[in-house]
Each structure stands twice: as structure tokens, then as C-alpha cells.
Amino acid sequence: MKRFENINGEKPVIEIKPHRKEVAGSQQIILTFKNGYGASIIPEYHVPNTGDFEKDWKNQSMVKGHYELAVFHDGELCYETPITNDVLRMLNDPELQNAVEQIQRLEFMSIHHLHEDANV
């Protein structure tokens, strides 16, 4: 957890929530920065594919050392950033740290900022 306590000199708001009750110890970490952006970080999961969905779901496990990251803006999922247009998967620790630092540096851009001649 200490790796998220100080990012580029900023102390983000950190929330830790239980994530999947099927997987013991599974947690979601939500970081929120002053720029209004945030990161949702969960462990990467492996779900066996035996054809028995209910059994497979119960037998899922965390993939040690790998994470999924979703970008948020003002508490909503945000798929329109230079970082990604989806959820980032299978990130190792250095890749996760890099993505979180990029989110912390984002500036909000509305469509009106992209077109100088927009009449707003």
C-alpha cells in the first residue's frame, strides 16, 4: 500500500474495498487525484474454463503479481484518455506504477478543448 501514499509529491485519496468474495483476500484499491482522475486497481484473475460456469467462477484465483487498472474521472469510468480507451490488464508492478503516475498527470480535456473554433 505504501507505494500509493505519495505519487509525484501528491497524496491521493485512497479507498480500499473488498472486491470478490469468491477469492479470499481480494481487494480493490481506488486512488483519486486532485485533477479529478482516479485509478481502480484490482488483482488480475484466472478463471478456469471447464465449461461449468458456476464451478469455474467459484474456482477463480488471483494471478500473483499482475493487476487490472481502470481510469476514472469524477467517479465515473473514463474510456477517453491518452492512457487507454479500455481497462488495462495483466500489468506487472512497474507497469502499474507507470500508469498510475500518468493518470495523476492527466489534465481534463473536453471535446471543446480539442476544437479551437467551437462556440461554447
77 bridge partner residues: 72
Q: What is the pLDDT of residues 63-74, one digit of tens each?
A: 889 999 999 999
What distances in angstroms separate CA 31 from CA 19, 49, 56, one per listed residue? 15, 32, 30
Q: What is the pLDDT of residues 3-30, one digit of tens each?
A: 676 776 789 999 999 887 767 778 999 9
Structural domain boundaries of the chain? 2-114
What pLDDT score does 112 carry?
43
Q: How many CA atoms lie within 13 A of 44 on its CB side?
A: 15
3-state secondary structure of 115: coil
